[in-house]
Structure 1
Amino acid sequence: MTPEQNDLLCRVEGEAPMGKLMRQHWLPACMIEDVAEPDGTPLRVRLLGENMVVFRNTEGRIGALDELCPHRRASLAFGRNEECGLRCLYHGWKFDVDGNAVDMSSEPVDAKLRGTMKTKAYPVVESAGFVWVWMGDPENVIPFSPPNWSAAPAEKISIVKMHGGCNWAQVLEGSIDSAHSSSLHSSNMPTATEVSGSTATDTAWLRPSADKAPKIEVQKTPFGFRYAAIRKPIIDADKQDYVRMTLFQAPFTVHIPSNDQYHLSQMLVPIDDVNTMFYWIAWHPTKGISQDAWRKFCGAEIGKDVEPVTFKKRRNAENNYLQDRALMKAGDFTGIYGIPCQDMAMWESMGPIADRSEDLLGSSDKAIFTFRTQMYRAAQAVQKGEPALGAVEPRVPLAKLMSFEGMVPKGDDWRLINVSEEERRLTGVFADKEEVEDLADAVS
């Protein structure tokens, strides 16, 4: 990619086409637990370079307002959250969750301004552990489509939240890079002969393959793409393949192959051009992992591993992510605790915005190649006034999207695994072998 193409892919602030694309989707502003208390502390949120404040009012309704009071531009994050409104400390102007001014202490009781004053309020939905906001055209709000983890009850949804000090696209490329897990996370995902699929323990995910060079195949879809990382299993390699299928759901969600205890999804949400909020959701309708256990496993416990409110890491670039070289000599591959921090060390080391013009891609990077070309072209389309990828009706129901992990008999088509009837009906033929071959040729 040229530097100009890289900017189009990465930048989201202001009038950037990629930011406009993302504004045609519902965006996660925060976790519900961040604003669980009625009349609790307002939460500063930054998305796509815009600052807002999220709060829960006395009656339990959620509001998301422009952070700055429209009067004199003081921050509402310092405001009093009381009696069904957020009151600015500077002059006492108070706004409800819909942005209406319900009191203006500094203005005469008969002032015309009292009847017309509003501040910017974003449409809000609470679903599946998150507060979602609409930042696009308020006259063209698309219906909210719940994510796939909404299939689980609230107590079976566990969320890791962590700030990343770099651009969203290099974080997302890590999430769709199946090959790196066999090296970077090899101490957390060790090979085991006694398992037939990814098997979760308290400290690791055991795998039935030692293959570090998976064959990657890609299939584009209306919501983004699927890809399969096909590895040689330890047992019966002549009869079966070990397949890990990942879904990229535009613009920033990735559904990662599950293990035997819980499903896995990630959202790599742009705070601005050079900061990202990383969410990792572990969920299951009946099994799953507890919130406390999930955050401990990931090294993302609030107050211990990440700061409250900001979710900035205590293992960070300034302290080399507390990398333990003695532990590395003892056999740990990275010496960095927790899968997310291992990833963060790699992503952030690339710089605030990775220079893709210097990349030398290999055959294991087909999904990376697809992401870059697909989202670059999607941003170009939005730049021309066309609708965003994944926002065109009829849309594939997001709640139906599922990844896959397991043994597949040789010769079986992975593209037909975990495909809902709605998706088959909306998209027709799936196995676009010619396109897969074109991608392979382009990468090689």
Structure 2
Amino acid sequence: MTPQQNDLLCRVEGDSPMGKIMRRHWMPVCMSEEVAEPDCTPLRARLLGENMVVFRDTGGRIGVLDELCPHRRASLAFGRNEECGLRCLYHGWKFDVNGQAVDMSSEPVDAKLRDSMRTRSYPACEAGGFVWAWMGDPEHPLPFDPPVWTKAPDDKIAIVKVHAECNWAQVLEGSIDSAHSSSLHSSNMPTAVDVANSTATDSQWLRPSADKSPRLEIERTPYGFRYAAIRKPIHDAEKQDYVRTTSFIAPFTVMIPPTDQYNLIQMLVPIDDVNCMFYWIAWHETKGISTDAWRKFCDAIPGVDVDPVTFRKVRNINNNYQQDRAAMKAGDFTGIKGIPTQDMAMWESMGPIADRSDDKLGSSDRAIFEFRKIMLSQVKDATNEAPPKGYYNRDLFSFEGMVSKDADWREVPSPYAAAS
């Protein structure tokens, strides 16, 4: 990639072409649990370089507003969330969830400004444990498409949230890279001779293959692409392959292969050009994993491993991710606790925005090629009014397991086929 192409791929702030692509999708602003109670503490949020404040009003409605009061630009995050509105502390101006001023304490009761004053509000909704906002044309938001994990009941959806101090694209390229898991995460995803598929325990995902160089096959789709990472299994390698499929849902979502207990999806949401929020959702319609257990598995417990408000990591680049060299000598591959933090160490070590002009890519990077081609193609059509690639098709699924050498992984039946 040229430096110019790299900028097109990575930069999302202001009028950047990739930012325009992002604004044609509903964006996850925060987890619903962060603004769980009516009249709760307002929450700062930042997406695509824009600062917002999120609150739940007295009636339980969600509001997503520009963080700064339109009067004198003080932060509404310090405001009073009361009586169905958010009141600025500076002069008492108060706004409802739609951005309409409902009180202006410092202005005369007959001031015409009272009727016309508004602040910017973003159309918002809730689904699947998240607050979503529309950052595009406020007059013409596209219909909200419920994400695939809303098939599961709320108590079968678990979310991990971690701040990444680097650009969104290098985080996403890590999510669609199947080959790295066999090395970077090998202590968390070890080979086991007595399992037939990815088997989740309290602390590991056991795999029926020791193959570290998967063969990749890619299929373009309306939402992006999906691909199969085909590995040699431990048993009956002459008759079957161990296949793990991953789906890229443009522009920032990756559905990775499941375990025997839960499905897995990641959203790599741009905060700005050089920061990203990493969300990892585990869900299942009947089995699943609890939120507490999921965060413990990922070593991403708020208040222990990440800040409970900003979700910045305790183990970070400033303390070398608390890498334990003694543990490495004793057999741990990375010496870094937690799958997400292992990934963060790699992603953030590339710098705020990775320089792709000097990449030396190999055959295991076919999904990376495909992602870059698709997104750069999308950028060329940034002003096109046609629906963009992406959207959360509720029949999406990923697969992992044994496939006969005579079969085609593309024809593995969807678990939702009978219901559709």
TM-score interval for Structure 1 and Structure 2 normalised by the shorter chain: over 0.9
Structure 2: distance between partners of 1:370 and 1:400:
22
Per the alignment, residue 71 of structure 1 pairs with 71
Tell me the percent identity. Answer: 72
CA shift for structure 1 position 250? 0.5
Q: Which residue of 2 aligns with 1:5?
A: 5
Report the Cα distance in structure 1 between the residues aligned to 2:12 and 2:25, rounded to whole angstroms. Answer: 13
TM-score scaled to structure 1, two decimals?
0.92
Matched, 1:320 2:346: no
User: Residue 409 of structure 2 aligns with which residue?
Assistant: 414
Amino acid at match of 1:194: D
Matches within 5 A, 1:382-421: 382=382, 384-387=383-386, 389-390=388-389, 398-418=393-413
| CA distance in 2: counterparts of 1:223 and 1:347, whole angstroms | 25
Q: Which runs of 4+ in 1 moved over 2 A?
A: 384-389, 416-422
8 A Cα contact 2:395 2:416, kept in partner: no
Residue 429 of structure 1 corresponds to: none
Structure 1 segment 92-171 matched on structure 2, within 5 A: 92-171=92-171
Give me the CA root mean square deviation. 1.3
- Report the counterpart of residue 309 of structure 1 in structure 2: 309
Shift of 1:414: 1.2
Contact map agreement 1:18 1:379 (CA 8 A) in 2: yes
- Which amino acid letter does the alignment assign opposite residue 64 of structure 1? V
Which residue does the alignment assign to 2:34? 34
Give the count of matched residue pairs.
418
Shift of 1:419: 5.0
Which residue number corresponds to residue 431 of structure 1? none
* Residues 308-362 of structure 1 deviation map (CA, whole Å, 9 limit, x = unaligned): 1100000000000000000000000000000000000000000000000010000
Instruction: Check the 8 A contact 1:378/1:388 in 2, yes or no.
Output: no
Output the TM-score relative to the length of structure 2.
Answer: 0.98
- 1:394-444 CA-to-partner distances (Å, cap 9, x unmatched) read x7x62111111110011211122245899xx9xxxxxxxxxxxxxxxxxxx
The whole-number CA distance in structure 2 between the counterparts of 1:417 and 1:142 is 32
Is the CA contact (8 Å cut-off) linking 2:181 and 2:189 kept in structure 1? yes
- Provide the rounded CA distance (Å) in 1 between the counterparts of 2:208 and 2:9: 36
The 5-angstrom pairing of residues 334-345 of structure 1 reads 334-345=334-345
Paired residue secondary structure (2:255): strand
How far apart, CA to CA, are the structure 2 residues paired with 1:249 and 1:189? 25
- How do 1:22-421 residues align onto structure 2 when only pairs under 5 Å count? 22-382=22-382, 384-387=383-386, 389-390=388-389, 398-418=393-413
Distance in 2 between the 1:220 and 1:416 partners?
A: 14
Structure 2: tracts of 5 or more residues without a match: none
Please give the alpha-carbon distance, in whole angstroms, between the structure 1 residues aligned to 2:393 and 2:385.
Answer: 22
Q: Secondary structure at the match of 2:269?
A: strand
Return 5+ residue gaps in structure 1 as ranges: 426-444
Matching residue's letter, 1:390 = K
| Cα separation, 1, equivalents of 2:43 and 2:372 | 33
